Amino acid sequence: MKKFLNENFLLQTKTAQQLYHEFAKQLPVIDYHNHLPPDQIANDINFENLTQVWLYGDHYKWRAMRTNGVDEKYCTGSAGDYEKFEKWAATVPYTLRNPLYHWTHLELQRYFNIETTLNADSAKAIYEEASAKLQTAEYSVRNLLRKMNVKVLCTTDDPTDSLEHHQKIAADGFEIKILPAYRPDKAMHVDDVSAFNKYVNKVESVSGISVSSYSDYLKALKARHDFFESVGCKVSDHGLEQLYAEDYTETEIKNIFEKIRSGKELVYSEIIKIKSAMLIEFAKWDCEKGWVQQYHLGVIRNNNTRMLGQLGADTGWDSIGDFSQGKALASFLNKLDATNQLAKTILYNLNPADNELMATMIGNFNDGSVAGKIQFGSAWWFLDQKDGMVKQMNALSNMSLLSKFVGMLTDSRSFMSYPRHEYFRRILCNMFGEEIENGELPNDLPWTGKIISDICYHNASAYFRF
């Protein structure tokens, strides 16, 4: 029997072990999409204890705790930090086969050199040891990133964000690039009249451009796009149920914008028309600047209105949706391609039933101008686990070129998430190793090692040009 989580964790063959240890392991990390708070990096903070770094804001863990029958008081509520940790520690043994079990123990090993498994009995000692380490200079957030060999990371930022923290980090001369990403989700949230109008007013004041028409609104948002570029931004991102690609005329969009600005609710056909129009404009800016545009597709958010009312968004009430992705996605990409305004694009899919759809969709618009110009992005959120990654990479292998894949990202809010890159690399090496040993692939380790190094690091490095 193999030891749990030893140096050959997830590497089932000798060849897989060789590929991982000789080619993948030492490569730096480009984490091109995450939700880390830039202010914490700017101030290079230390966390006081393991609860702060693990349980504040981690809805994956909260969901597991709730499922295990833990009261909300210990997830997001008023319980003290150690009380919350005890409940999490007691939950961990019940997370066997959920990725949380692997993530938890990889994080304990990689950041703290703790090899004990976490449960109710080991909780106190682990909490004390990890918390004491977290308070030392070696565990400031910048040092946590250094420890994980991160070279570049991109946060997720609203167009109205001042980006003052990114500017401070750059001015400090921090050697890891901390770059913003332009995510205009709120800018197109016309489903909520009052929130949208407040948002337009905010764009107006932040950009200094007065907004009395749709074209003014675009001008103001474009000014923010230009500002993001000046701070080093090279990627945009969108969180959408699905792409929208309705036909529209300028007059229609002008009237729809005036209607919502006068405080009137839009009907569904108007909502999708104006969203279609905005998405096309944003995409054109990305193309002009040579940015990479990312689309996270397929989540049904905020399903539990009672809990949403109590705790707000991103607290663990979202799930995989079953939206119809294909036609609108094809039509959206085609509209941009037709005028030669299609930027490098990554499509992230949340419903595994759509994996093959995504893997074949990208081939329609890969035109030879840039290797892997249109990407089927890494398995994401509920699919960010062994089975999800294998399925995504199998679809990509079978229907496109896995060798041109830009690889893994954390998409996380936690500084403790970086071992997920290691997790991905092990799974990748295991897939190749197994097929080499089966005789399905040639026993050419230098070449296979090169492909693996490309997927882990070099493809992203060439693609994003950070």
What single DSSP character describes residue 445?
H
CA 60/CA 91 separation, integer angstroms: 12
Nearer to Zn ion, 411 or 422 (CB): 411
Stretch in the footprint of Zn ion (CB under 5 A) among 40-48, 82-90, 274-282, 409-417: 409-417
Residue nearest Zn ion by beta-carbon distance: 411
At closest approach, how far in Å is the CB of 410 from Zn ion?
A: 9
- Which residue, among 435, 370, 367, 376, has the nearest Cα to 405 in the 3D structure? 376
The region of 41-49, 50-58, 265-273, 407-415 touching Zn ion under the rule CB under 5 A is 407-415
> Mask 356-395, x = binds Zn ion (CB under 5 A)?
----------------------------------------
In angstroms, the CA 428 to CA 379 distance is: 13
Of 85-93, 180-188, 266-274, 404-412: span binding Zn ion (CB under 5 A): 404-412
Query: In which residue are the tokens 């730096």 written?
Result: 28
Part in contact with Zn ion (CB under 5 A); list of ranges 89-97, 364-372, 405-413, 438-446: 405-413
Contact range with Zn ion by CB under 5 A, out of 86-94, 184-192, 411-419, 427-435: 411-419
Spell out the SS3 assignment of 59-114: HHHHHHHHHCCCCHHHCCCCCCHHHHHHHHHHHHHHHCCCHHHHHHHHHHHHHHCC
Which of residues 157, 286, 384, 411 is near Zn ion by CB under 5 A?
A: 411
* Binding pattern for the stretch 284-323 against Zn ion, x by CB under 5 A and - elsewhere: ----------------------------------------
| DSSP character string of 397-415 | HHHS-GGG--------S-T
Q: How far apart are CA 395 and CA 398, in angstroms?
A: 5
Residues facing 374 on adjacent strands: 345
Number of residues located near Zn ion, criterion CB under 5 A: 1
CB-nearer residue toward Zn ion: 270 or 411: 411
- Amino acid identity of 422? E
Amino acid at 312: G
- DSSP letter at 443? -
Q: Give the nearest distance from C-beta 389 to Zn ion in angstroms.
A: 16
| Cβ nearer to Zn ion, comparing 74 with 348 | 348
**Site map (CB under 5 A) of Zn ion, residues 119-148, x = contact:** ------------------------------
Strands (E) located in 99-217 = 150-154, 177-179
Q: Tell me the C-alpha distance between 18 and 31, whole Å.
A: 24
Our CB check for Zn ion shows the closer of 184 and 433 to be: 184
- Which contiguous run of DSSP H or E holds residue 344? strand 344-349
Our CB check for Zn ion shows the closer of 161 and 411 to be 411
- 33 or 142: whose CB is closer to Zn ion? 33
- The nearest distance, CB 30 to Zn ion, in angstroms, is 15
Kindly indicate which of the ranges 86-94, 282-290, 316-324, 410-418 contains the residues binding Zn ion, using the contact rule CB under 5 A. Answer: 410-418
Q: Which residues, 6+ apart, have CB-to-CB distance to 69 below 8 Å?
A: none
Residues forming contacts to Zn ion in the complex (CB under 5 A) are 411
